[in-house]
Chains A and B, each alone.
Chain A
Amino acid sequence: MAQETEEPQVKSNNETSSSSPSPPPPPLPPRRKASGEASLQVGGQLQAKPTTAVSSIDISTLSFPDGTRGTFPTPSVGSAPSPINSGYGTPTRDSSGDNLTDSMSVMSFAPTIRAPGDLASLVAGDFNRKSRAWNLLRSQSETVQPFEAIEFGDSGELAGFEREFDDIPENMTDDVRLSMWQSKMKHYLILSSAGKPIYSRHGDLSLINSSMGVIQTIISFYEGAKDPLMGFTAGKARFVVLTAGPLYFVAISKLGESDAQLRGQLEALYMQILSTLTLPTLKNIFVHRPSTDLRKPLEGTETLLSSLADSFTKGSPSAILGALECLKLRKSQRHAINNIFLKTRTERLLYGLIVAGGKLVSVIRPRKHSLHPSDLQLIFNMLFESGSIKSGGGESWIPICLPAFNNSGYLYMYVSFFDDDNDKSQTSTNPSATPTTSTSTPTIPEEGIPPPQQPSPRANKPPPPPESPQEIALILISPDRESFFPFSSLRTSLYNALTKSTHLSLIRSSLATPRPSISSILLGSNPPLISHFLYKSRPNVQFVMSSLYPLFTSPIARRKLMSQYQTLHAAMHAKHSHLKVIYSVGEDCASLGWVTPLFEFYCVAGPNVSRQAMTEAANKIVKWVGREEGRVFIIGGGVF
């Protein structure tokens, strides 16, 4: 991009530095010493460097395709940010210098040890050019992948995350169970304002009853003081409290999520409860008897709450961005599917959706009503994350409240999965004689057994596993509870039409295709420097991301990636920050966030990838999305 060349400035820097009366040289930073040769060669210059008021940090302005501009402090001449762990021993720097204030304008997560002064000394002059060893090292440094420590068995803070979703066994002493409960990194608790426990992600209620009591006491103390408790920190855990009507929601997270994000997750759990009960019913229950045990009316939805909670804990891009993912299809194909869908539409249809593996394929809706992502999140959770519906087979007819659409009443939702080969019309013939005897082997429930995900060496890669469940579902929503049979015949005609026009097989093959890999987008740079990206189209409220394979398939790596995105997202959306671009380097990865009125873009790369390389790649990806927009997003959809 329009990055100004730094050559002349650097030169002048060097001149100034060499000509300036040099004060007694400060001791060399320790790392430089360790790297041998290089330090020997450049030692003299290095010392002088930070003492000059003019720094080699330059601010360059990037203007992006959509017209926005962002400023970056750029290190001079192809400098690489220091490799991992290089930054300790910050040399003395003139803290009143311009460099500091300038760089402060770009919010950075770089730990203080990587402050501008340090960078200045690192990228100083031409020592990069001189040392072959350093160049050699540097050429390797970019191949360091994000979160590589995981591979060497160092999961850091996330140690034990793979056991996060295990149940706490019942046949152990309370002490053991309690310590298992405490070792979970994420808790969600729901209780009534009277203190009755309603839901806890981990542990049965006997185990956590006392904790619930404590929580209720704390919350109601602040309520009483007319100063509602929002959240607090205890040790490594962040507690966030949401009061919604007669209910208290508490999230306890050791995963470093921001308060706003945790509150959003609690909101989603509240929405799930509303979608089961509706707001008026919920209120009524507690108006008449404040001490009601809400577990009874919510019976059977614990699995929905848990699958929703777990998707947050695993890290869901959809939840982070508040957007949906679409199945990639050619524009004309999607258009044709929309038209077939519209043609088969019946009376009393409010919304019609085709969803494949959690990704939207087609939407039809009345002009006056649009679908809210948070409502779709609830539906997708019900269909694809929890097994309640898909395990049953057949067609389902479900009363559901979509709280963002209307929280006071039920809609009726028809759900049917398009099975692979045999459709529902071909009912299998009567087993009247067969089943009774052949039952010695109760079939093991097929739960799409996830491949054992050890942090396998990246050298021998297995073929990419499917990233998400592969079912294709038809969802039809009506305000009328008598619509089931019209919808059932709609399903038959839609299925026939889609099969006949081969669109169903198109959907299937697109579903079988993994998400785009970065290397397929960034042709040329090989291997790609960026490891993963997320792109949200703000007007369409949809997102596209690159394949999680191969770096982020293990739960821990995935969680780390999502945490990184959460951090970026939180920084970009903090209340009073009006950030457009954020670049952050940490010990194990570098990341970039970029927000414009049109899109939000986030990407993660290895810790040594330079800012310049990242912004270049980011621009390429954004351009790619621009080209593919009609395929990766549903624009408009079918409106009737």
Chain B
Amino acid sequence: MADSGAPKPSSSVKLVLLGEAAVGKSSLVLRFVNNDFQENKEPTIGAAFLTQKCNLPTRTIKFEIWDTAGQERFASLAPMYYRNAQAALVVYDLTKPASLIKAKHWVAELQRQASPGIVIALVGNKLDLTNDSAGGDGEGAGGGDGEDARKVTTEEAKSYAEEEGLLFFETSAKTGYNVTEVFTAIANAIPETSLKTARGPGASSAAARTEEQRVNLNGPRDPNAKEGCAC
């Protein structure tokens, strides 16, 4: 927080991760925040909120990261997380073509509904499962020798990213390849102007969306009474 010592300006950036289940969103975050990796990580439930600082030459960016669950049933909650987000990481698994299709859906939804200036990065994860694991440096990560599990070519994803004006990276959360680069690139791509207005947490607007799904607490906590109970 205030401990950045240097007089560099510091600002918060709200970033959201979206993408199909099991593409490695949480693993990317875990690599970025803790420089750690867990084999067979259990699926995220709901969403996790993490923070991590990123030092740029001229300023410090504090990422406030919403790592969302990829399962279909959580999709209706996504707007809550990308609302007011200044950046989004849309992740797909480059061994699963279907996950790129899902990623494209997320990109479209973000362009339609998120804040206009949002910086979107398209990230193909699990590069360690392919033969061209450039960053692996002969680690043979995953032990998949000789067998190339890649199903989405770099060209295909890259040309799509260029069309839509997205940042594009291929990463491996397992080896750490390119992970920090993604976040640094996003930090650099955030326009200086949008940094003034940091986050607006409970900006409340889409609150009424799923009112019907909410538990009705009969009694003092009736949602109609809004400010009702402060006893």
B39 within 8 A of A: yes
Per-residue contact bits, chain A 415-455, to B (CB 8 Å; 1 contact, 0 not): 00000000011111111111110111011110000000000
How far is A45 from B179 in the complex, measured between Cα atoms in Å? 87
User: Which of B41, B179, B215 has a CB less than 8 Å from the CB of A435?
Assistant: B179
Check if B230 sits within 8 Å of A425, measured CB to CB: no
Interface membership of A399, Cβ < 8 A: yes
The stretch of B71-79, B103-111, B157-165, B190-198 that contacts the partner chain: B71-79
With A382-B45, A388-B45, A391-B41 as contacts: A435 and B35 at CB distance below 8 Å: yes
Question: Contact at A389–B214, with CB atoms within 8 Å?
Answer: no
User: Shortest beta-carbon distance, A368 to chain B, in Å?
Assistant: 5
- A395 contacts which of B49, B69, B139 (Cβ < 8 Å)? B49
Once A368-B219, A392-B30, A442-B175 are accepted as A-B contacts, the answer to whether A482 and B202 lie under 8 Å apart by CB is: yes
In the complex, the number of residue pairs spanning A and B with C-beta atoms less than 8 Å apart equals 185
A424 to B49: give the CA distance in the assembly, Å. Answer: 11
Q: How far is the CB of A298 from chain B (nearest CB, A)?
A: 8
The answer to whether residues A482 and B207 also contact, given A366-B220, A366-B221, A386-B42 and a CB cut-off of 8 A, is: yes
> Quick check: is B153 within 8 A (CB to CB) of the other chain?
no
B189 contacts partner chain A, Cβ-Cβ < 8 Å: no
Residues in B with CB closer than 8 Å to A152 are none
On chain B, the residues within 8 Å of A443 by CB distance are 36-38
A587 at the interface (CB under 8 A from B): no
Task: List chain A residues, Cβ under 8 A from B60.
Answer: 430
> Is the CB of B169 closer than 8 A to any CB of chain A?
no
Instruction: For A413, list chain B residues within 8 Å (CB).
Output: 46
Q: In the complex, are the beta carbons of B39 and A445 less than 8 A apart? A: yes
Query: Is A428 in contact with B33, judged by CB distance below 8 angstroms?
Result: yes
Identify which of residues 138-184 in chain B touch chain A, using a CB-to-CB cut-off of 8 Å: 139, 174-181, 183-184
CB distance from B217 to the nearest CB of A (A): 6
Interface string of A371-397 (1 = CB under 8 A from B): 000000000001000111101111111
Binds A, one of B51-59, B90-98, B117-125: B51-59
**Chain B nearest Cβ from A121, distance in angstroms:** 59
By the criterion CB–CB under 8 Å, are B174 and A436 in contact?
Answer: no
Given contacts A435-B176, A435-B179, contact A276 B73 (CB under 8 A): yes
Any B CB within 8 A of the CB of A170 = no
Residues of A within 8 A of B48 (CB): 389, 392-397
Partner of A296, one of B26, B52, B65, B72: B72
CB distance from A434 to the nearest CB of B (A): 7
Q: A299-B72, A393-B33 are in contact. Are A445 and B214 (CB under 8 A)?
A: no
Whether A440 touches B46, Cβ cut-off 8 Å, given contacts A347-B230, A408-B215, A427-B53, is no
> In the complex the two chains form, is B230's CB within 8 Å of A394's CB?
no
Q: Which chain A residue lies CB-closest to B201?
A: A485
**Quick check: A398 and B46 within 8 Å, CB to CB?**
yes
Bound Cα distance from A432 to B65, whole angstroms: 16
* B31 interfacial by beta-carbon distance below 8 Å: yes
Q: Is the CB of B54 within 8 A of A432?
A: yes
Interface flag for A488 (CB, 8 Å): yes
Closest-CB distance, B170 to chain A (whole angstroms): 14
Q: Which of A395, A440, A442 has the most CB of B within 10 A?
A: A442
Q: Are B43 and A303 interface neighbours, CB within 8 A?
A: yes
A406's contact among B35, B202, B215, by CB below 8 Å, is which?
B215
Indicate whether A277 reaches chain B with its CB closer than 8 angstroms.
yes
* A410 surroundings in chain B (CB, below 8 A): 213-215
Chain B residues in 8 Å Cβ range of A399:
46, 74, 77
Do B46 and A297 have beta carbons less than 8 Å apart?
Answer: no
B210 within 8 A of A: yes
Contact B220 A431 (CB under 8 A): no
Cβ of A555 within 8 Å of any chain B Cβ, yes or no, is no
Give the residue among B48, B51, B174, B219 with the most A Cβ atoms within 10 A.
B48
Is residue B116 within 8 Å, beta carbon to beta carbon, of the partner chain? no
Q: Is A427 within 8 A of B62, CB to CB?
A: yes
Q: From the candidates A278, A439, A484, name the one contacting B176 in the complex (CB within 8 A).
A: A439
Say whether B50 faces chain A, with CB atoms less than 8 Å apart: yes
Q: How far is the CB of B137 from chain A (nearest CB, A)?
A: 8
Is A432 a contact of B180 with CB atoms below 8 Å?
Answer: yes
Residues of A within 8 Å of B71, CB to CB, are 299-300
Closest to B56 in A: A432
Q: Which residues of A contact B224 (CB under 8 A)?
A: none
Q: Is the CB of B35 within 8 A of A479?
A: no
Per-residue CB proximity of A279-301 to B under 8 Å, as 1/0?
A: 00000000000000000110111
Asked if A350 lies at the interface with its beta carbon under 8 angstroms from chain B, I say yes
The interface residues of chain A lying within 8 Å CB-to-CB of B53 are 427-430
Residue of A nearest to B209 (CB): A481
- B101: Cβ under 8 A from any A Cβ: no
Shortest Cβ gap from A380 to chain B (Å): 14
- Interface membership of chain A positions 454-492, coded 1 if the CB is closer than 8 angstroms to chain B and 0 otherwise: 000000000000000000000000011110111010000
Q: Mark A481-525, 1 if CB is under 8 A from B, else 0.
A: 110111010000000000000000000000000000000000000
- Picked from A391, A394, A444, the residue with its CB within 8 Å of the CB of B49 is A394
When chains A and B are docked, how far (Å) is the Cα of A439 from the Cα of B40?
Answer: 18
Choice from B67, B139, B223 contacting A394 with Cβ under 8 Å: B67
A485 to B199, CA, bound (A): 11
A224-258 contact mask (Cβ, 8 Å, vs B): 1 or 0: 00000000000000000000000000000000000
What are 10 pairs between A and B in contact, CB < 8 Å?
A300-B21, A350-B221, A394-B51, A397-B49, A398-B46, A406-B216, A410-B214, A411-B215, A430-B55, A482-B80
Q: 3 closest pairs, A vs B, by CB?
A: A398-B46, A394-B50, A439-B176
Known: A388-B44, A436-B135, A445-B40. 20 other contacts (CB 8 A): A299-B72, A366-B221, A368-B219, A387-B42, A394-B67, A395-B49, A424-B51, A427-B53, A428-B33, A430-B54, A430-B60, A432-B180, A436-B176, A436-B178, A439-B35, A443-B37, A479-B214, A479-B221, A482-B202, A484-B201
Chain A positions near chain B (C-beta within 8 angstroms)? 276-278, 296-297, 299-301, 303-304, 347, 350, 366, 368-369, 382, 386-389, 391-400, 405-406, 408-411, 413, 424-436, 438-440, 442-445, 479-482, 484-486, 488, 640
